[in-house]
Structure 1
């Protein structure tokens, strides 16, 4: 019998699993955030940020999904009202490198911002994304927030999952020259 999926808070020791999966998922946003020219360069910098508290990519904002001891995916999120403060360490990093630091923060006040939902290739298509979205709602509720918000790039197949799980289009946004849909879902019981 297969064990159910469990979701636990990340620790700094999860960096080797989490960081490459995060960068694979966020792609060019990670390059902008770090000021990197390649995924490998971005991952190298992200490893240090993952271990540190007080930033968007910190282990403190990540939950790890596992089944039968195998790590399958992750959820990265935080209160949208905290987005600018959580992005400040990245802006400081960019300034130190002499790069522009004017990227917009993604989370919005009043929502729990789902920054990254990522599932390993082998685990895709088995309901893990939906399970992680349940965890996002639980985290929002625990923080007294009434909705979960996320950005999904135009053309990303994940939009179908979000729609099936009750997310609706709130607005369209541009980030780093790419178009995104800002989608939201009310937290049950809120």
Structure 2
């Protein structure tokens, strides 16, 4: 079952978030100490008004625990949602590397998508993407976007099967990524 996240979901959600973006989380946190990085992101998850907040997260609850998650928000609010992230990281570690803008106004951005290893291949990721796109449509958004590493063609194929199309390739957080867009018909 897909449900909105709550602050209490932080430990499970952050472990899944790190499947999608552990390297990026370490880079923007300025440390390889995963205990510190985990503390930072669990704190951010529990707080409203930032890009990694529970408010922006849907979870796939398999009944015996969280099996997947997706974080999505209005791309036009990226700077507003990113500021508390960078401010908190600076306060915790003195770092707070600001990556390139990965989204833009007019786009519902699917920031992070992850499915627990034991649950992959069961369609959970697709269900989460569909739920996030439905949320975007409910907010009046006309397109959804995401980044996928150029080193991850299997994920790119999944997104393309779901109707996403590569718009361009860009640098992000030290890597190369395709920016994919899906038009939302019922917005």
TM-score > 0.5, shorter chain as reference = yes
Structure 1 residue 159: deviation in Å? 1.1
Name the Cα RMSD after superposition: 1.6
Counterpart position of 2:150: 154
- TM-score by length of structure 2 reads 0.92
Find the residue that maps to 1:27 and give its secondary structure.
helix
Mapped partners of 2:54, 2:65: distance in 1: 18
Asked if structure 1 preserves the Cα contact closer than 8 Å seen for 2:58 and 2:69, the reply is yes
Q: How many residues align?
A: 185
Judging changes above 3 Å, is the alpha-carbon distance between structure 1 residues 162 and 38 closer, same or farther for their aligned structure 2 residues? farther
Where does structure 1 differ by over 6 angstroms across 4 or more consecutive aligned residues? none
**Paired residue for 1:144, among 140, 146, 150?**
140
Q: Deviations over 1:46-75 (max 9, x none)?
A: 111111111111111101112345421011
**TM-score, L = length of structure 1:** 0.90
Structure 2 distance, partners of 1:94, 1:46, is: 9
C-alpha change, 1:24 and 1:67, in structure 2 (3 Å) is: closer
Among 163, 167, 172, which residue is 1:170 paired with? 167
Match in the other structure for 1:15: 10
CA contact (8 A) 1:65 1:74 kept: yes
Work out whether residues 23 and 39 of structure 1, in 8 Å CA contact, stay in contact via their aligned partners in 2. no
Maintained 8 Å contact 1:117/1:129: yes
Deviates more, 1:142-151 or 1:31-40: 31-40
The corresponding residue for 1:42 is 37
Structure 2 regions of 5+ residues with no counterpart? none
